[in-house]
């Protein structure tokens, strides 16, 4: 009897989850998938009748089980003060003292996009596996290396050397810059990622050198904790140290060293460096996360030269 009750409970819960996802998607966010690409159209209206619109595009490298249900993309109108706290690093002293122009979310587009793919197998345990055909699409999403994410909104205006950036954070965690391009139309921000969660479009007026030096520290920390051989780690850290040394005197040379680092990650991804992300969250996508940080560092360094992100 308990077995059938457990089956029935799982069935009801699965059905409720399906309806919740479908209702949320149709009401505020419409998500579609075409091959390796997911598209989302967002339209949210606040209590004052102001509507915020955006289009989100996510292009994956070799995705498996990419469906709107598995992707689980949602959007909300944010508490601006809470997002700004997360953007400044939860109490960064330089921000609080006014010593640094910290990134802020623009009140003209206070939207948080959350991508939190669901781990579905728990729905089908204890002999419930035979019902999976009834839930087509409820399979765990996975991909290799990185995805490219694009948020496009007409609620913000594009200018040359636009300060808008794509920021990413763990759910309810602190944000970090993942931008690798900013394009007109009105504002279109892009970035790569090796894992998911919250995304916002933030205004960041800090100097490119300040941002670049911060990103070098972030990449250094990520390489240190990666599950790779000591020899490969030393090679990556040596190249990053060269970037750090040259950035103040020879940005072109620093970019060349960074490109070597990115190429070295790409060369070893899938062999010496783990490069799979899965909704099971049982493996860490070291290659994707290091590439994410290296790619956005490259964007900031190219800005030092007064150029575009992808010259």
Nearest in space to 228 (alpha carbons), one of 176, 280, 282, 267: 267
Question: pLDDT digit string (tens) for 84-97?
Answer: 999 988 545 456 54
31 φ/ψ angles, rounded to the nearest 5 degrees: -115, 130
Kindly state the percentage of the chain with pLDDT values over 70. 80
Question: CA-CA distance, 257 to 22, in Å (whole number)?
Answer: 47
pLDDT higher than 80, residue 116: yes
Is pTM beyond 0.75? Reply is yes
Question: CA-CA distance, 265 to 223, in Å (whole number)?
Answer: 10
Banded model confidence at residue 269, pLDDT cuts 50, 70, 90: very high
pLDDT higher than 70, residue 135: no
Nearest in space to 22 (alpha carbons), one of 77, 76, 78, 74: 74
Question: CA-CA distance, 134 to 219, in Å (whole number)?
Answer: 44
Q: Decide the pairing of beta strands 176-177 and 164-169.
A: antiparallel
What value does the mean pLDDT take over residues 54-71?
97
pLDDT higher than 70, residue 14: no
Banded model confidence at residue 172, pLDDT cuts 50, 70, 90: confident
Q: 91: burial class by Cβ within 10 Å (0-12, 13-18, 19+)?
A: exposed
pLDDT higher than 50, residue 284: yes
Please state, rounded to an integer, the average pLDDT across all residues of the chain: 86
List 149's β-bridge partners, or say none: 58, 191
Nearest in space to 64 (alpha carbons), one of 301, 234, 277, 214: 277
Question: pLDDT digit string (tens) for 218-259?
Answer: 999 999 999 999 999 999 999 999 999 999 999 999 999 999
CB contact set of 296 (below 8 Å; sequence gap of 6+)? 177, 178, 179, 180, 191, 192, 215
Banded model confidence at residue 280, pLDDT cuts 50, 70, 90: very high
């Amino acid at each position: 009897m308990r077995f059938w009750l457990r089956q029935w409970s799982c069935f009801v819960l699965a059905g409720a989850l399906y309806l919740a996802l479908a209702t949320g998607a149709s009401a505020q966010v419409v998500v579609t998938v075409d091959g390796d690409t997911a598209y989302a159209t967002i339209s949210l209206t606040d209590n004052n009748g102001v509507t915020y619109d955006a289009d989100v595009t996510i292009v994956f490298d070799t995705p498996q089980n990419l469906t709107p249900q598995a992707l689980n993309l949602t959007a909300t109108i944010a508490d601006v003060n809470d997002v700004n706290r997360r953007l400044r690093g939860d109490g960064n002293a330089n921000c609080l003292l006014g010593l640094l122009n910290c990134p802020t979310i623009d009140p003209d587009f206070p939207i948080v996009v959350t991508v939190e793919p669901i781990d579905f197998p728990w729905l089908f345990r204890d002999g419930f596996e035979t019902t999976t055909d009834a839930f087509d699409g409820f399979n765990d999403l996975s991909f290799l290396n990185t995805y490219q994410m694009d948020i496009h909104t007409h609620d913000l205006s594009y200018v040359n050397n636009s300060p808008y950036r794509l920021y990413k954070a763990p759910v309810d965690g602190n944000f970090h810059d993942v931008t690798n391009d900013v394009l007109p139309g009105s504002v279109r921000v892009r970035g790569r990622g090796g894992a998911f969660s919250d995304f916002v479009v933030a205004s960041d007026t800090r100097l490119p050198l300040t941002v670049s030096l911060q990103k070098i520290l972030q990449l250094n920390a990520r390489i240190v904790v990666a599950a790779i051989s000591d020899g490969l780690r030393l090679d990556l850290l040596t190249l990053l140290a060269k970037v750090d040394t040259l950035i103040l005197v020879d940005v072109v040379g620093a970019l060349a060293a960074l490109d070597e680092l990115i190429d070295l990650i790409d060369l070893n991804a899938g062999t010496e460096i783990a490069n799979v992300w899965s909704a099971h969250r049982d493996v860490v996508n070291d290659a994707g996360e290091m590439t994410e940080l290296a790619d956005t560092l490259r964007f900031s360094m190219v800005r030092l030269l007064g150029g575009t992100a992808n010259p």
